[in-house]
Amino acid sequence: MDPLLLLIPLILAIGASQIGLPPLIGYLSAGFALYAMGVEQLDFLTPIADLGVLLLLFAIGLKLDLSSLVKGEVWGGASLHSASSVLIAAAIIKLFSFAGIGLFSQIDTEQILILSFALSFSSTVFAIKSLEESGDTQSLYGRTAIGILIMQDIFAVIYLTLSKGVMPSPWALLLLGLPLLRPLLYRLMAKCGHGEMLVLFGLAMALVPGAALFEAVGLKPDLGALILGILLAGHHKSSELSKSLFLFKELFLVAFFLTIGQQGIPSGAELITALSLMLILPIKMALFLLILSLYRFRLRSSVMSTITLGNFSEFGLIVMTAAIATGALDNSWIRIIALTVAFSFLLAAPLTRISEKIYQFLLGSKLSKLQRSPLHIEDQPIDIGKPRVVIFGMGRIGSSAYDTLKDTYGDVILGIDHKQEIIDRHLSENRKAVIGDGTDSDFWDKLVPSGSIDLIVLAMPSHHGNLHTAQLIGESAYRGRVTAIVRYADEEEALKEMGVHSVYNIYQAAGTGLADQVIESLPISITSNPSL
Asked whether residue 230 falls in the same domain as residue 363, the answer is: yes
Does 375 reside within a domain?
A: no
> ∠ at Cα 147 (71, 64), nearest 5°?
100
Q: What is the pLDDT of residue 374?
A: 86
The pTM score is 0.74
Q: What is the pLDDT of residue 531?
A: 47
> To the nearest whole percent, how much of the chain has pLDDT over 90?
24
CA distance 47 to 60: 20
161-184: b (≥16 Cβ within 10 Å) or e: beeeeeeeeeebeebeebeeeeee
Last residue of a domain, one of 370, 398, 414: 370
Residue 110 lies in a domain: yes
The answer to whether residue 174 is domain-embedded is no
With a cut of 70, say whether residue 325 has pLDDT above it. yes
Per-residue pLDDT tens over the stretch 111-121: 999 999 999 99
Question: 151 and 224: one domain?
Answer: yes
Residue bearing the bigger pLDDT, 330 or 80:
80
Claim to verify: residue 437 and residue 359 sit in the same structural domain: no
Residues 333 and 352 in one domain: yes
Q: At 458, which helix (H) or strand (E)?
A: strand 455-458
Is the model more confident about 479 or about 451? Answer: 479
Q: Would residue 40 count as lying in a domain? A: no
Average of per-residue pLDDT across 441-463: 78
Please check the confidence at residue 515 and state whether its pLDDT lies above 90: no
Sign of CA dihedral 107, 110, 116, 120: negative
Whole-number percent of the chain with pLDDT over 70: 92
Cα–Cα nearest to 58, from 172, 168, 209, 187: 209
When pLDDT is cut at 50, 70 and 90, the band that residue 446 belongs to is: low
pLDDT > 70? residue 450: no
Indicate whether 139 pLDDT > 80.
no
| 499 & 385 share domain | yes
Q: What is the pLDDT of residue 532?
A: 46
Look at residues 370, 393, 416 and tell me which one is the last residue of a structural domain. 370
DSSP state of 358: H
Q: For residues 114 and 321, is the Cβ–Cβ distance under 8 A?
A: no
Whether 78 and 144 map to the same domain: the answer is yes
Q: Average pLDDT over the chain, rounded to whole? A: 84
For residue 526, is it within any domain?
A: no
pLDDT tens profile 239-290? 888 888 877 887 887 887 787 777 677 788 989 999 999 999 999 999 999 9
Q: How big is the chain by its Cα radius of gyration, in Å?
A: 25
At 408-428, the pLDDT tens digits run 889 999 999 988 889 999 999
Pure H helices in 69-139: 77-99, 109-119, 124-134
Res 90: pLDDT: 96
| Confidence tier at 165 by pLDDT (50, 70, 90) | low
Q: Is the pLDDT of residue 200 over 80?
A: yes
Whole-Å CA distances, 275 to 167, 316, 335, 336: 36, 16, 12, 9
* Model pLDDT for residues 307-318, shown as the tens digit of each residue: 999 999 877 877
Output the pLDDT for position 93: 95
Same domain, residue pair 324 and 422? no
- DSSP per residue over 390-401, as a string? EEE--SHHHHHH
Among 319, 347, 370, give the residue marking a domain's end. 370
Residue 41 belongs to a domain: no
Tell me if 141 is assigned to some domain. Answer: yes
CATH number at residue 339: 1.20.1530.20
> 436 and 322 in one domain?
no
How many separate domains does the chain show?
3
| 14 and 103 share one domain | no
Residue 377, Cβ neighbours under 10 Å: how many?
7
Of 407, 406, 379, nearest to 390 (Cα)? 406
Nearest-10 crossing angle of helices 299-308, 280-294:
140
Q: Are residues 362 and 426 in the same domain?
A: no
Domain housing 64: 48-168+181-370
Same domain, 271 and 233: yes
Q: Hey, which residues does 57 pair with through a beta bridge? A: none
Task: Please compute the mean of the pLDDT values over residues 519-528 and round it to a whole number.
Answer: 58
Tell me: do 337 and 481 sit in the same domain: no
pLDDT at 441: 64
**Is residue 527, in this structure, part of any structural domain at all?**
no
